[in-house]
Amino acid sequence: MAKASIITIGDELLIGQVIDTNSAWMATELNKAGIAVQRRVAVGDNRKDILDALDQEKSASEIILLTGGLGPTSDDITKPLLCEYFGGKLVLNNEVLEQIRQLFANIHRRPTTERNIKQAEVPDNCRVIMNLRGTAPGMWFEKDGRIFISMPGVPHEMKGIMEQAIPMLREKFNTEPIFHKTLVTAGIGESLLADLIAPIEESLPAYIKLAYLPRQGMVRLRLTASGSNPELEQELEKRFTMLKKGVEDYLVTDRDEPLEAVVGRLLQEKGKTICTAESCTGGYISQLITSQPGSSAYYEGSFITYSYHSKEKLLCVPHEMLEAKGAVSEEVVLFMAEGALSNLGADYVIAVSGILGPGGGTPEKPVGTVWMAIGHKGKIQAYQHQFRFDRKRNMEMTAQQALNHLRMCLLESA
């Protein structure tokens, strides 16, 4: 199988100012095309480090993908350096120049500057991959039997270039795809799960690998098959079916998808709608629900009620109850749920109120205390959870637990 290294260039990656989301996307797409990412390396905008990385990755992989370091400003040193490394010289590429001019005329509505025109200079020994979304073109080099592709680091520009480069790489290396099958479990920890499926794991053929991926209180299991065996896909399906059966009591989904996709599908199948009433999550749950394409078919709307005032005004929570029980209480979330359902007329509801931290905890209700109410007209159930993480993770756990309660509720109701 063809092997690739990803080199990401930019000081911002080394001081933590930017989270690298490019590499994950690239790895996913390469994988589908039968190219295994072997190593990912991030280096700074520094001559020696970039050259060392090129040399090292050249000996590790047949395909070396570089992102970043191609901007028009002087902190970007990659292009002259690539020129030197591959022994070319910079020449103005007319096709690229025309593309940049178009971009400025149509999108930015102003003429190109000196700096932008410099972006049209490319090494004379590279094959240009056009960037239709920005000014820095992709560049394909060959050296010592290795392919090097340099791209800008701006995510949607990188994606546009990769979409052209991947078919070129597939053809060049005549690749076979890699197959993954993933399922998600809830309600069982990694260790117990491992004990549960030990016999299935031990009987796997050598070309099928099992991985455990714990995340936000759930564990994903992934089977991966690669090689030229003609039975590959069939064998993978068979093993995946065994695995599914082995974990059936804990199975959330047999696809690699988030919980909001699972509940979205259930709602759609049943022809039901959902609304939310959120306090501490501030719209995070509605955000997850609406991140699914087609969610307008089953998502009605939400009330984000952060203040006492908004809980009273929008969801008819009695002022006395808020004073007596506090916003984070069983009584209040039940009222919030009822209020959202009757105001919006949806079929199902999620209501949450909690203290996610860092501040706001009390001895009786420490940080991490969350009340949630989930259900449908006539049957709304309240749950208390106690999370023990930081604000961000408490919010994620709250959303996951709420969606999982909703999933169970949808499965129970006929």
Kindly identify the residues of this chain, within the stretch 230-259, that bind a second copy according to CB under 8 A.
Answer: 256
The region of 89-97, 143-151, 367-375, 384-392 touching a second copy under the rule CB under 8 A is 384-392
> Total number of residues binding a second copy (CB under 8 A)?
106
Window of 68-76, 137-145, 230-238, 317-325 that interacts with a second copy by CB under 8 A: 68-76
Tokens representing residue 158 in the block: 């990188």
Q: Quick check: 1 binds a second copy (CB under 8 A)?
A: no
CA distances from 249 to 65, 187, 193, 253 (A): 43, 9, 11, 11
Of 17 and 94, CB closest to a second copy: 17
Is residue 103 close enough to count as binding a second copy by CB under 8 A? Answer: no
Nearer to a second copy, 140 or 299 (CB): 299
Within 299-358, the residues that bind a second copy by CB under 8 A are 299-307, 309-310, 313-314, 343-345, 358
Contact window for a second copy (CB under 8 A) among 107-115, 235-243, 328-336, 369-377: 107-115
Quote the tokens at residue 314. Answer: 């929008």
Query: Could you say whether residue 213 binds a second copy (CB under 8 A)?
Result: yes
Reference 46, options 67, 23, 76; nearest CA is 76
Q: Is 56 in the site for a second copy (CB under 8 A)?
A: yes
In which residue are the tokens 């509505």 written? Answer: 109
Enumerate residues 192-211 that contact a second copy by CB under 8 A. Answer: 192, 194-195, 201, 209-211
CB atoms within 10 A of CB 172: 14
Query: Rounded CA gap, 28 and 22, in Å?
Result: 10
CA angle 265–394–397, rounded 5-degree value: 25
Kindly identify the residues of this chain, within the stretch 154-193, that bind a second copy according to CB under 8 A: 154-156, 178, 180, 182, 189-192
Alpha helix (H) residue ranges in 61-197 = 78-85, 94-103, 114-118, 155-173, 190-196
Closest distance to a second copy from the beta carbon of 152 (Å): 10
Alpha carbons within 13 A on the beta-carbon side of 271? 1
